[in-house]
């Protein structure tokens, strides 16, 4: 595989495993840094070989060679960073801090390499588009633009400025995410009076007792800021003061004036991104980012957000009035507060639709829900999933599957990691350990992973999911299908290597199947009796589907607007993060009973991950998925021809063509916004 001369580091040896999966059982923390340093050195030599090639630059010896380079670095860094998010510890945190500037410097060695860019530019200047396939042209186009967008045309002095900014941003973003995790891990709500548990579902109480016992607090109950703990508490706990306490802790992550405070980091990151954008010739960071997205400009993003904001807030105001009336009707003498909303909404939903989320959970065992996504994949795409407990994993809770085509061919490997742990970041995501590619006519299968934070099994029951968690599972599985079914030539165009406002289409469209009555009948069976969910419950789910969309849409859009505000600044921020956030939300007349889904100091998507000036992507993609799902509803949700068209034009193509063109090939038309407005119950607002 690689002639590194190192024989005792499993990361630098050929992976002697089925399908070349990572040998997690052999990898130790101390292996990462030397492996990544060696991988960077090998990649650097590969780049130098391209630049020193005596033959005139052409597509094969320059652009294709560049795409093929760095395989070892991609593989080792994928393992390291996936575990940094899913199974971190102090050692990995320290290693990441050491490696962050080294990797940023290495990336800039490529992006700002004058000789390498000269070869790429020569290919760009002298290639007739008609001589290349669509995918080859896309690779050339993206390769050339990646150089120009990263500063290849800058003066030597400005390149040095870019290098310094990139190194600092890498460290700051890493620290931001570590701080959010640190603050989340630090908080505990300890309850020792059983009466304070009133209203909470028994499985939530049992889980809290389990956490308490594991922390030496037997006989008490501990609630944390992990979603399976904090969200049920906000939804069901009758004790208003305790709801207020845990809500304040949740909305102040990274904002406590301690070592994990993110206020200054957020401002520094935003200002450095602006400085970099200006050096590269853009008005703002958003202009820089959006140039390569479907939206293309901040103006188009704001046009969409503005279309949705007013009807969402109007609906939220009506919902707030109804909840305030509920308080009054029950004899309450307090105004509706953010920590009341979820609790009262659950009560109202039960009153209006006779729907109690706790009635649903026995039918949504994790095992059943996984069975549900597998059934959908089989009926839509002919896939089957075969457990491979023999393959190495990084934690005993991780399960692994071979993903097979109808004819038995293995199309990919899927890892699934479902429960919260101290070293795992919050939320849910799909990632890869190896992107799909094609070498010498042979398809290299992808290694894909889903990571979530679902409730753990109780002593007397399996993991029982909320409806929201079921939707999350279907969502991440949609991302996984995008990675698993990729069938392109070049790894840099494979799977989810697409604009962020297109990448959510495969995930969000998959959510539609989760609550279809036909699909619920296939997987939503009671974990004790095995009986399918009764029709009366599926009808309630359908009738309540648009309930609370004012709240859900407003909290999401508020976060999207906050993201855009930070990244459309054209002058450096001089005010504090809290003041900037408050001004942004007040200018939009956000009602005080709702806060953004993510406040500044724990907005990992935009400050630690890859969604800066991109959080709008979920709603942009929802326009696509709502319109695309109409095609399935027109012919049947498991219509083979429609599923094949979606697979061939969307899931398999990755980033090998313009995303809107791919969408038109599937749908035969541009997407319409009306299906989204209907889906969210905003069409009449």
Point out the residues that are catalytic.
476
Contact 143, 217 (CB under 8 A): no
Tokens 């539609």 sit at which residue? 512
- Phi/psi at 305 (5° precision): -60, -40
Residue written as token pair 């499985």: 203
Q: Which residue has the tokens 């659950």?
A: 346
Whether 414 and 428 have beta carbons less than 8 Å apart is answered as no
Q: Which residues of 144-172 are buried (b: 16+ CB within 10 A; e: fewer)?
A: bebbbbbbbebeeeebeebbebbbbbbeb
- Say which residue the tokens 């607002």 belong to: 685
Residue positions counted in the chain: 685
> Distance between CA 495 and CA 480 in Å, rounded?
9
Residue with the two structure tokens 């929201």: 468
Q: What is the CA radius of gyration of the chain?
A: 25
Q: 14 with 27: CB under 8 angstroms?
A: no
Q: How many other C-beta atoms are found inside a 10 Å radius of the C-beta of residue 504?
A: 25
Q: Which two tokens stand for residue 592?
A: 């005080």
| φ/ψ (deg, to 5) at 448 | -115, 150
CA atoms within 13 A on the CB side of 608: 21
Nearest alpha-carbon partner for 453 in 225, 606, 213: 225
- Helical packing angle, 202-214 and 227-236, nearest 10°: 130
**Alpha helix positions (H), 127-187:** 134-149, 156-186
């Amino acid at each position: 595989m690689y002639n590194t001369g190192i024989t005792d580091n499993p990361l630098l040896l050929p992976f002697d495993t089925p399908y070349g999966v990572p040998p997690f059982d052999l990898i130790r923390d101390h292996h990462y840094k030397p492996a990544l340093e060696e991988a960077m050195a090998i990649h650097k030599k590969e780049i130098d070989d391209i630049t020193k090639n005596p033959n005139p630059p052409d597509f094969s010896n320059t652009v294709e060679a560049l795409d093929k380079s760095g395989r070892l670095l991609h593989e080792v860094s994928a393992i390291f960073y996936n575990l940094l998010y899913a199974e971190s510890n102090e050692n990995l945190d320290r290693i990441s801090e050491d490696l962050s500037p080294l990797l940023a410097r290495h990336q800039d060695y490529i992006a700002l390499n004058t000789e390498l860019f000269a070869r790429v530019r020569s290919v760009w200047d002298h290639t007739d588009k008609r001589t290349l396939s669509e995918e080859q042209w896309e690779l050339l186009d993206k390769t050339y633009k990646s150089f120009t967008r990263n500063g290849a045309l800058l003066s030597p002095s400005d390149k040095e400025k870019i290098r310094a900014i990139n190194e600092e941003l890498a460290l700051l973003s890493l620290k931001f995410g570590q701080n959010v995790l640190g603050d989340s891990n630090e908080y505990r709500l300890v309850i020792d009076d059983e009466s304070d548990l009133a209203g909470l579902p028994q499985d939530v109480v049992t889980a809290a007792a389990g956490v308490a016992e594991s922390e030496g607090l037997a006989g008490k109950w501990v609630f944390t800021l992990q979603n399976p703990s904090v969200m049920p508490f906000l939804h069901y706990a009758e004790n208003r003061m305790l709801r207020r306490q845990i809500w304040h802790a949740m909305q102040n992550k990274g904002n406590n004036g301690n070592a994990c405070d993110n206020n200054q980091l957020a401002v520094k990151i935003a200002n450095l991104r602006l400085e970099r954008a200006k050096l590269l010739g853009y008005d703002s960071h958003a202009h820089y980012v959006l140039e390569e997205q479907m939206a293309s400009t901040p103006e188009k993003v704001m046009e969409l957000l503005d279309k949705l904001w007013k009807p969402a807030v109007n609906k939220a105001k009506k919902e707030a009035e109804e909840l305030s009336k509920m308080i009054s009707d029950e004899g309450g003498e307090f105004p509706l507060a953010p920590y009341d909303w979820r609790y009262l909404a659950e009560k109202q939903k039960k009153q209006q639709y006779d729907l109690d989320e706790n009635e649903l959970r026995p039918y949504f065992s994790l095992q059943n829900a996984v069975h549900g996504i597998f059934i959908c994949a089989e009926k839509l795409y002919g896939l089957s999933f075969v457990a491979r407990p023999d393959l190495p994993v990084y934690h005993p809770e991780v399960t692994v599957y071979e993903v097979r085509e109808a004819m038995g061919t293995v199309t990919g490997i899927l890892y699934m990691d479902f429960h919260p742990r101290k070293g795992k970041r919050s939320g849910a995501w799909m990632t890869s350990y190896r992107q799909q590619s094609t070498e010498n006519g042979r398809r290299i299968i992808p290694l894909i992973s889903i990571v979530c934070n679902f409730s753990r099994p109780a002593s007397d029951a399996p993991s029982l999911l909320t409806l929201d968690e079921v939707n999350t599972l279907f969502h991440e599985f949609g991302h996984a299908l995008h990675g698993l079914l990729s069938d392109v030539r070049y790894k840099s165009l494979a799977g989810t290597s697409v604009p962020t406002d297109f990448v959510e289409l495969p995930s969000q469209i998959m959510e539609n199947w989760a609550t279809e009555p036909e699909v619920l009948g296939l997987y939503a069976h009671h974990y004790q009796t095995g009986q399918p969910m009764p029709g009366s419950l599926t009808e309630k789910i359908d009738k309540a589907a648009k309930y609370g969309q004012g709240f859900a849409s407003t909290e999401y859009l508020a976060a999207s607007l906050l993201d855009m505000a930070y990244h459309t600044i054209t002058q450096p921020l001089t005010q504090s993060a809290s003041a900037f956030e408050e001004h942004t939300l007040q200018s939009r007349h956000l009602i005080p009973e709702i806060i953004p889904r993510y406040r500044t100091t724990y907005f990992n998507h935009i400050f630690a991950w890859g969604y800066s000036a991109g959080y709008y992507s979920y709603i942009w993609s929802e326009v696509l998925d709502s319109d695309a799902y109409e095609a399935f509803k027109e012919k049947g949700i498991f219509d083979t021809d429609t599923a094949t068209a979606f697979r061939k034009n969307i899931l398999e193509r990755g980033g090998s063509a313009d995303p809107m063109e791919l969408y038109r090939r599937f749908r035969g038309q541009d997407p319409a916004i009306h299906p989204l407005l209907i889906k969210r119950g905003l069409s009449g607002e």
